[in-house]
A and B are shown apart, each in its own frame.
Chain A
Amino acid sequence: MPDEKNLCLSGSGLTKVFGFGRQKCVAVDHVDFNFYEGEIVSIVGESGSGKTTLAKILLGLINPTEGEVYFQGTKRDIGTQKKKKEYWKSIQAIFQDPFSSYNIFNKIDAVLLDCIHMRGGRRLPRAEKVALMTEACSFVNLKFEELTNKYPFELSGGQMQRLMIARIFLLRPQILLADEPTSMIDACSRSTILGMLMNLHFETGMTLIFITHDIGLAYYVSDTIYIMEHGKFIESGTPDEVILHPKEAYTRRLINDVPKIHEEWDLSTV
């Protein structure tokens, strides 16, 4: 099946080492992967397994120590500020903590206007910009009229994360990297936000790279799952392969750690 799809993002031998000498810490260790266009990929692992570092490498926010990232089949080149800007038109991210994702000195309009400007809408008349922002906000069930002149920190965590999705709605990147977008949010808002992400995915056909520690969530949403342990991909495949027939002990542990309703929860492995 992968042969029919176009390669979107792939990496070979990606490694990131922090520090040196005794304090050396290998966050990402020779990782290889192929993400295809339109897929929902989940990268599952516990805290400290290197998921976020990998995400930052993919976003081009930090440079890998070794290895290469290939974007749409060719070697990614983000050497200059201009090329980076071009690259970021195709890949965007939603971060884990909505409270620290916003510049507390910028108003909500400014956040959304930035996205319109990035898509080349700098010269649009004000009314059209407002229309675009209103559309984006209504996509995530927010009322733009109520948000103008507000600061992001005046919203709740769930609203802030929805505003993040509104940002992505305006930007329409080919790849969206969602780094634990729901881990800081309560369970009810979580399903809303996931639903919005899915809607966005189906509407635009964007590749969704979903980074999470919640293997149950990954099972339900993704086309491909990568299990990450100590900076390595130890297992990958379709959800059925990975979750229902796990090969590695670590994967089994991750599956067992998911609490199940009406069932004794085995805390011995936690």
Chain B
Amino acid sequence: MKHTFQQFFRSGKFVFGFSIFVAILLLTFIYPLIIPDPPLEIVAQGTFFEPGIYVSVYDSLGTTPHTLNLDGAAAKRIASKLNEEDRLAMKEWLVAAGIPENEIDTADTQKLLDLWMDNYDPTENIPGMTNARRNYFIRLNNSLKGLLSTEGAIIAEVNPETGTLEQVDVITQTDYVNINQVANVRVLPFGTDNFGRDVLTELVAATRVSLVIGFVSGTIATLIGLTLGLLAGYIGGVVDDIIMFFTNLFTVIPSFVLLILISFSIGQEQRGAVTIAVVIGLTSWFWTARAVRAQVISLRNRDHVNLSKLSGHSIVHIIITDILPYIASYVIMALILQISAGILAEAQLSILGLGPRTTVVPTLGLMMNWALIYQAQILGKWWAYLPVLVTIALITFSMNLMNTGLDQVFNPALRE
């Protein structure tokens, strides 16, 4: 047996799939040790904060500033303030004022500003322009002047005695704080979700719960399928007929419909992650049972089984020592596929709102359900669902890869 396990790692596909899987598994265990926040804690007021590093503005003010003279800092500042709409408006005015269109590049902030400053005249009356539009250009011009000013921002506070504002500090444009000296910095690599929860922390917890669901449902499905397949295949006769009757019955009913009906009838309050896992396991054993039965039928008339019978071994002994080891490779592969199918089934179920009850644990499917309800895909908030999709895809991919690799190990005809 030890020999077989060593063989697994001779297959490149298996090693690759296994590495991805172990990396995901390790991440789910190590991440909570580094960031022990509860995964469902609401940190942000508001929905869908963009991914990035969030620095406390209040704490940055109290931090000793350093002066850095950097070229192009002003241009960058303005560039970040000028949105696409303003740039197009500026271009529109400049074209109307007689500048050739091909000389204007809205992407080059510095050039655009220079052109604007040289040519804009608030008194100039461009034919066909409404008053409101003219006022808009005046406002735009004023705000650009403000952006171009080199004066710093003044911090003032109310003097409790006189009730007047008094200047306490001036922040010049060349003031920088070292991010390491700011007391409160929060990195949100995947931003926040619709409830204002850190998506990454949530994702790690969700991956772990989903993996547990996959393992529990996969193990249950494989065990049931294996037991029934062994009994039906080895004993045959009436036992086979009865087991195959039920197996065929369940195969004909789409198991996903069954899954929806069962989850619905359990009710929102009773649906925990484990309950869902058990339900998934109970509705996905049919193919395993059928396949195991087919394998056992081909095995039960082999000479080594006959010899074992002649040696007076009991049915249980023969099944365990003469049949099971021969189909073990198949069962391991079926188990891997069942686990990934379990994870997918949970995701499908949760997207429909029939997954584990919310507010207790996140799962990959629930995260997609939340993103869907709050229209993340329409609003373009990719960070709410894309990392989840990638995680699901990676888990299934790694498991399928492991499966193909094992197939190579067990089936010499497929070896490269």
Note all chain B residues with C-beta closer than 8 A to A61.
306, 309
Interface membership of A150, Cβ < 8 A: no
Select from chain B the residue with minimum beta-carbon distance to A105: B325
Determine whether the beta carbon of A95 is less than 8 Å from that of B321.
Answer: no
Note all chain B residues with C-beta closer than 8 A to A103.
304, 307-308, 321-322, 325
Interface membership of A252, Cβ < 8 A: no
Determine whether the beta carbon of B321 is less than 8 Å from that of A105.
Answer: yes
Q: Give the distance to chain A from B325, nearest Cβ to Cβ, in Å.
A: 4
Tell which of A95, A96, A118 touches B312, judged by Cβ atoms closer than 8 Å. Answer: A118
Note all chain B residues with C-beta closer than 8 A to A92.
310
Select from chain A the residue with minimum beta-carbon distance to B309: A61
Determine whether the beta carbon of A97 is less than 8 Å from that of B303.
Answer: yes
Interface membership of B411, Cβ < 8 A: no
Select from chain A the residue with minimum beta-carbon distance to B313: A114
Note all chain A residues with C-beta closer than 8 A to B308.
103
Chain A window 151-165, contacts with chain B (Cβ cutoff 8 Å), 1 for yes, 0 for no? 000000000000000
Determine whether the beta carbon of B309 is less than 8 Å from that of A95.
Answer: no
Interface membership of A23, Cβ < 8 A: no
Q: Give the distance to chain B from A9, nearest Cβ to Cβ, in Å.
A: 15
Chain B CB count within 10 A is highest, among A92, A96, A105, A118, for: A105
Note all chain A residues with C-beta closer than 8 A to B307.
93, 95, 101-103
CA distance A85 to B311 in the complex (A): 8
Q: Give the distance to chain A from B358, nearest Cβ to Cβ, in Å.
A: 48
Interface membership of B111, Cβ < 8 A: no
Determine whether the beta carbon of A93 is less than 8 Å from that of B310.
Answer: yes
Q: Give the distance to chain A from B286, nearest Cβ to Cβ, in Å.
A: 27
Note all chain A residues with C-beta closer than 8 A to B322.
103
Note all chain A residues with C-beta closer than 8 A to B321.
103, 105-106
Note all chain A residues with C-beta closer than 8 A to B315.
81
CA distance A59 to B301 in the complex (A): 13
Chain B window 326-357, contacts with chain A (Cβ cutoff 8 Å), 1 for yes, 0 for no? 10000000000000000000000000000000
Determine whether the beta carbon of A88 is less than 8 Å from that of B304.
Answer: no
CA distance A106 to B306 in the complex (A): 15
Note all chain B residues with C-beta closer than 8 A to A115.
311
CA distance A89 to B311 in the complex (A): 8
Tell which of B304, B311, B313 touches A100, judged by Cβ atoms closer than 8 Å. Answer: B304
Chain A CB count within 10 A is highest, among B303, B307, B310, for: B310
CA distance A114 to B322 in the complex (A): 13
Tell which of B306, B310, B311, B314 touches A81, judged by Cβ atoms closer than 8 Å. Answer: B314
CA distance A253 to B306 in the complex (A): 33
Note all chain A residues with C-beta closer than 8 A to B302.
100
CA distance A175 to B306 in the complex (A): 16
Q: Give the distance to chain A from B371, nearest Cβ to Cβ, in Å.
A: 49
CA distance A81 to B316 in the complex (A): 12
A88-B303 CB under 8 A given contacts A105-B325, A106-B321: no
Note all chain B residues with C-beta closer than 8 A to A81.
314-315
Name 22 interchain pairs, CB-CB below 8 A, sorted by A: A59-B306, A59-B310, A61-B306, A84-B309, A88-B309, A89-B312, A93-B310, A95-B303, A95-B306, A95-B307, A97-B303, A100-B304, A101-B303, A102-B304, A103-B304, A103-B308, A103-B321, A105-B326, A114-B311, A114-B312, A114-B313, A118-B311
Of all A-B residue pairs in the complex, the 7 with the closest CB atoms, nearest first, are: A105-B325, A95-B303, A101-B303, A85-B312, A114-B311, A103-B304, A100-B303
Given A88-B312, A114-B311, A118-B312: 17 more A-B contacts, CB < 8 Å: A56-B306, A59-B310, A88-B309, A88-B310, A92-B310, A93-B307, A95-B306, A96-B303, A102-B307, A103-B304, A103-B307, A103-B308, A103-B321, A105-B321, A105-B326, A106-B321, A114-B313
